[in-house]
């Protein structure tokens, strides 16, 4: 019986069944579920920051400087009415609401993490495919990648930021550059192992164009590892951005980020620890949740780890 004569319900059972099985496995992983829920919650908080925040994050009120969490504030309007609200996380040395700034900080940190992960994976994927498949440029590309990896990521990011004007774009570029070599090495190793497979050699024998060969046979095998790698890059980017902002060479101080909030509150940490405690907890929670999600995805999508669980 020819393949064309098979019933329609038996012609393509494997891909759909495999996807359904992968989704069920992911749903049963506590790390994927818990990490995904926390990340989704933080993303939702960042999106709804204008609604959830009590006041504008940059609003300065010298009369309410360094108020502790739970301090009440009354605003009297021109028409004689009053509005009372509570500074849930207290205020900083300029009288700005730490709660609102922390909410807006989630938005900035997640945007930077996701953007850095997407750019690093995209650029690293292209370079890794070329390095792994085109033999004569492999050595040249990998020596450049080795040179970049020899420099600690935070030092390389600090050097890139110091050469440009502080801002969101500069910080993203500074964090992306150290992460690209890691993606390149990952993709290159996958390509080198797949390039010797019989089905790839058969495709080359029949004259399949190189772009088609890479897109059809090589690229699908890099999706799962790159998803996992992207989660770790996202967590690392959020942490490095906070470090750069804490050191005063990252996002401008007027922009609320978790690193900026902690940097502004470190001088009075012993007396007013709330300026560092709340954004610090959010930062630790975000990095922990993304790493948990990445660990769960790795254990599910990577066959070598799937056999251990």
In this prediction, residue 122 carries a pLDDT of 93
Report the distance separating Cα 285 and Cα 283, nearest Å. 5
* pLDDT tens figures, 28-69: 777 888 888 999 999 898 888 888 877 888 888 777 888 888
Q: At 117, is the pLDDT very low, low, confident or very high (cuts 50, 70, 90)?
A: very high
DSSP one-letter code for 6: S
Average pLDDT, the chain: 80
In this prediction, residue 180 carries a pLDDT of 92
Q: Which of 4-18, 142-156, 167-181, 209-223 has the lowest mean pLDDT?
A: 4-18
In this prediction, residue 12 carries a pLDDT of 40
Residue 150 structure tokens: 């020899």
Among 257, 230, 253, 231, smallest CA distance to 46 is for: 257
Phi, psi angles (nearest 5°) of residue 76: -100, 125
Q: At 91, is the pLDDT very low, low, confident or very high (cuts 50, 70, 90)?
A: confident
Residue 23 has pLDDT above 70, yes or no: no
Report the distance separating Cα 190 and Cα 208, nearest Å. 20
In this prediction, residue 79 carries a pLDDT of 66
Q: At 303, is the pLDDT very low, low, confident or very high (cuts 50, 70, 90)?
A: low
More confident residue, 179 or 23: 179
Any residues with CB less than 8 A from the CB of 163 and at least 6 apart, and which? Answer: none
Q: Which of 38-42, 124-128, 248-252, 259-263 has the lowest mean pLDDT?
A: 248-252
Which DSSP helix (H) or strand (E) runs through 72?
strand 71-76
In this prediction, residue 37 carries a pLDDT of 92
Residue 225 C-alpha from the chain's centroid: 15
Q: At 9, is the pLDDT very low, low, confident or very high (cuts 50, 70, 90)?
A: very low
Q: What is the pTM of this model?
A: 0.82
Residue 106 has pLDDT above 50, yes or no: yes
User: Contact 182/149 with Cβ under 8 angstroms?
Assistant: yes
User: Contact 182/139 with Cβ under 8 angstroms?
Assistant: no
Report the distance separating Cα 17 and Cα 11, nearest Å. 12
Percentage of the chain exceeding pLDDT 90: 13
In this prediction, residue 16 carries a pLDDT of 56
Residue 99 has pLDDT above 70, yes or no: yes
In this prediction, residue 124 carries a pLDDT of 92
In this prediction, residue 309 carries a pLDDT of 46
Phi, psi angles (nearest 5°) of residue 258: -60, -40
* pLDDT tens figures, 158-203: 888 877 776 788 888 889 998 999 999 999 888 888 877 777 777 7
Among 132, 127, 122, smallest CA distance to 197 is for: 132
């Amino acid at each position: 019986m020819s393949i064309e004569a098979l019933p329609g319900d038996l012609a393509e059972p494997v891909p759909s069944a495999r996807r359904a099985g992968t989704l069920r496995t992911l749903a049963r992983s506590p790390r994927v579920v818990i990490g995904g829920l926390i990340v989704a919650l933080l993303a939702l908080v960042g999106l709804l920051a204008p609604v959830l925040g009590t006041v504008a994050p940059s609003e300065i009120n010298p009369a309410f400087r360094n108020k502790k969490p739970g301090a009440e504030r009354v605003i009297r309007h021109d028409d004689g009415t009053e509005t009372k609200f509570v500074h849930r996380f207290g205020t900083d040395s300029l009288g700005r609401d730490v709660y609102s700034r922390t909410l807006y900080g989630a938005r900035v940190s997640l945007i930077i993490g996701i953007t850095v992960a997407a750019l690093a994976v995209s650029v690293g994927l292209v370079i890794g495919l070329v390095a792994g498949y085109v033999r004569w440029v492999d050595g040249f590309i990998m020596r450049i990648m080795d040179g970049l990896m020899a420099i600690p990521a935070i030092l390389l990011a600090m050097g890139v930021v110091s050469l440009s004007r502080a801002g969101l774009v500069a910080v993203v570029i500074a964090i992306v550059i150290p992460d690209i070599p890691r993606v390149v090495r990952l993709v290159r190793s996958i390509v080198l192992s797949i390039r010797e497979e019989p089905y790839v050699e058969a495709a080359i024998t029949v004259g399949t164009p190189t772009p088609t060969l890479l897109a059809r046979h090589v690229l699908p095998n890099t999706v799962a590892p790159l998803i996992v790698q992207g989660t770790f890059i996202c967590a690392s980017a959020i942490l490095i951005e906070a470090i750069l902002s804490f050191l005063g060479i990252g996002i401008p101080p007027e922009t609320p980020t978790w690193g900026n909030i902690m940097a502004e509150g470190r001088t009075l940490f012993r007396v007013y620890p709330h300026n560092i405690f709340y954004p610090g907890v959010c930062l630790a929670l975000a990095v922990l949740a993304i790493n948990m999600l990445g660990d769960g995805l790795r254990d599910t999508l990577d066959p070598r780890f799937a056999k251990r669980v």
